[in-house]
Amino acid sequence: MTTYTFGLDTFGDRNSDADGKPLSHAQTIRNVAEEGVFAEQAGVDFFGIGEHHTEYFPMPAGDVVLAAIAARTERIRLGSAVTVLSSDDPVRVFQRYSTLNAISGGRAEVILGRGSSIESFPLFGYDLADYEELFEEKAALFAELLKDGPVTWRGKTRAPLLNQDVVPHTESGPLPAWIGVGGNPQSVIRAARLGFSLALAIIGGRPARFAAYSQLFQRALEKFGRPPLPVLVHSPGHVAATDEQAKAEFWPRWREIIALIAPERGFALPTEESFDWDTGPDGSLYVGSPETVAQKIATNLRALTATRFDLKYGMPGLTHDQLMTNIELYGRQVVPRVRELLSSPGNGRS
């Protein structure tokens, strides 16, 4: 029987109060810690924090927040969603997450990405012209670090390592590690070649089109002589009591954030018509009542032959109370309903 897991991801989206006034960055970070602790109580399997360095996503050190959550939880798995490896040092990333693994009793994992949000490149002095080379070399080094033995490595992007012991060692095997992919076939093949699991970041268009990437990943693993590895789906969404309430809460925040980042990332500006399509059965946003969101998750997990779904919850401007309600509904209603749908024959709809 297939085992499915269900997570929640946040970018540390800056909260607002009930009157729409933005909260401080510090309060937003404290709220994320509370949300991670509550996610375990609600029955969620995984809680992830993605790296960002902006006024509206003030989350540059998610591993620190994850450690705070680890100290107050016992079961939930914790990790990045995503760590921008291209502008970081693989040794330090490994050390931070192997330390988190120690604190949490073996519950840590890491999702690595090239960086579709590129604010970290100028912040840390990296040239975007080196975008591809930086990730290729650093991902290869991280794959060596996961073997948890002395590392010998040489490349162009950092100092070489010669039989280097990198601590702390993990107690219970290598860290689970994923590469986040947003639609580049070469990234899928890289993940397979280096032995990483595959995280499909689907934030636009039809999720079903990513089925080809899942298939490519498994074929590539076979070609490289590796065993099958899991595929997860990461997509934005928002759960409320009804479809109408979820859309009313999420739509203005979604419109604002896409308008803000569209010039940098080349996104089309959303309209109410495009939002209605994106939140419909064939779109990539999981916005609605628990039943609506559960049906969509089940359908797409089957279509993509994926075994994990991580809901990227929150948007800048939503309140902490709205996010806590989202977490409660997701963990206590959506996840059990998805498990029920996936345990029965059919396409995920009933």
Report the pLDDT averaged over residues 260-268.
81
pTM over 0.85: yes
Please report whether residue 121 resides in a domain.
yes
Report the pLDDT averaged over residues 152-171.
96
Q: Which of 51, 58, 12 is nearest to 34 (CA)?
A: 12
Quote the pLDDT of residue 175: 95
pLDDT in tens, 97-146: 999 999 999 999 999 998 667 888 888 888 877 888 999 999 999 999 99
CA 105, distance to chain mean position in Å, is 21
HEC string of 206-252 equals CHHHHHHHHHHHHHHHHHCCCCCCCEEEEEEEEECCCHHHHHHHHHH
Q: Quick check: 287 and 334 in contact, CB under 8 A?
A: no
Q: How many domains does the chain have?
A: 1
Q: Is the pLDDT reported for residue 262 higher than 90?
A: no
Please report whether residue 349 resides in a domain.
no
Quote the pLDDT of residue 346: 59
Q: Quick check: 237 and 292 in contact, CB under 8 A?
A: no
Please report whether residue 58 resides in a domain.
yes
Full domain range(s) for residue 228: 5-343
- When pLDDT is cut at 50, 70 and 90, the band that residue 340 belongs to is very high
Q: Quick check: 12 and 62 in contact, CB under 8 A?
A: yes
Quote the pLDDT of residue 348: 45
Please report whether residue 137 resides in a domain.
yes
Tokens linked to 340: 């029920």
What CATH number should be reported for the domain holding residue 172?
3.20.20.30
Please tell me the distance from the alpha carbon of residue 71 to that of residue 73, in angstroms, as a whole number: 6
Q: Quick check: 27 and 58 in contact, CB under 8 A?
A: no
Quote the pLDDT of residue 349: 47
Please tell me the distance from the alpha carbon of residue 145 to that of residue 147, in angstroms, as a whole number: 5
Tokens linked to 231: 């595929």
pLDDT in tens, 175-234: 999 999 998 899 999 999 999 999 999 998 999 999 999 999 999 999 999 999 999 999
Share of residues in the chain with pLDDT > 70 (%)? 98
Q: Is the pLDDT reported for residue 4 higher than 80?
A: yes
Quote the pLDDT of residue 116: 65
